[in-house]
Amino acid sequence: MTSATTSTTPATPRRAVLRNDPGYQAFVILRTGFTVAPILFGLDKFANLLVDWPAYLAPWINDVVPGSAQAAMYGVGVIEIVAGVVVGLAPRFGGWLVAAWLGGIIVNLLSIPGHYDIALRDFGLLLGAIALARLAQRYHGKPQSH
């Protein structure tokens, strides 16, 4: 009686495959950045260590929101912290949330003379947030067939 031996290799775990996937690596980098940065910037709205944040609030917005510009920055800080947490927990939604928030920041900055360079930088961040949301569609949640 002869026996045929077949060589089988165990299937490579999905996690190991993903670690070597450049798209997945990009997703992890963007998810980490868009989780940490909004939280840190949001916290700094309460301390003003990085910059005098109220100076970045357009006068017309300051006229619309109740209270002082610094009080408005406290609200902005809370929103940014929440946005960072949402990216960490649900990047498919959080990426779009951060992109929308950055869109609002860009409108604000474009209405302040001398802040156009920062608006352009934030446009680049908006594109990164959209890329995160799109990558999260593929890499976060239920495994999808490729």
Mean pLDDT of 28-56: 97
Output the pLDDT for position 146. 46
pLDDT tens by residue, 121-145 = 999 999 999 999 999 999 987 555 4
Output the pLDDT for position 128. 98
The per-residue DSSP string of 53-85 comes to GGGGS-HHHHHHSSS-HHHHHHHHHHHHHHHHH
Q: Which of 130, 82, 77 is nearest to 103 (CA)?
A: 130
Mean pLDDT of 1-9: 51
Give whole-number Cα distances, 53 to 77, 109, 112, in Å: 10, 12, 13
Whether the full predicted model's pTM is greater than 0.85, yes or no, is no
Task: Inform me whether the pLDDT recorded for 3 exceeds 90.
Answer: no
Under the banding of pLDDT at 50, 70 and 90, the label for residue 90 is very high
Task: Inform me whether the pLDDT recorded for 111 exceeds 70.
Answer: yes
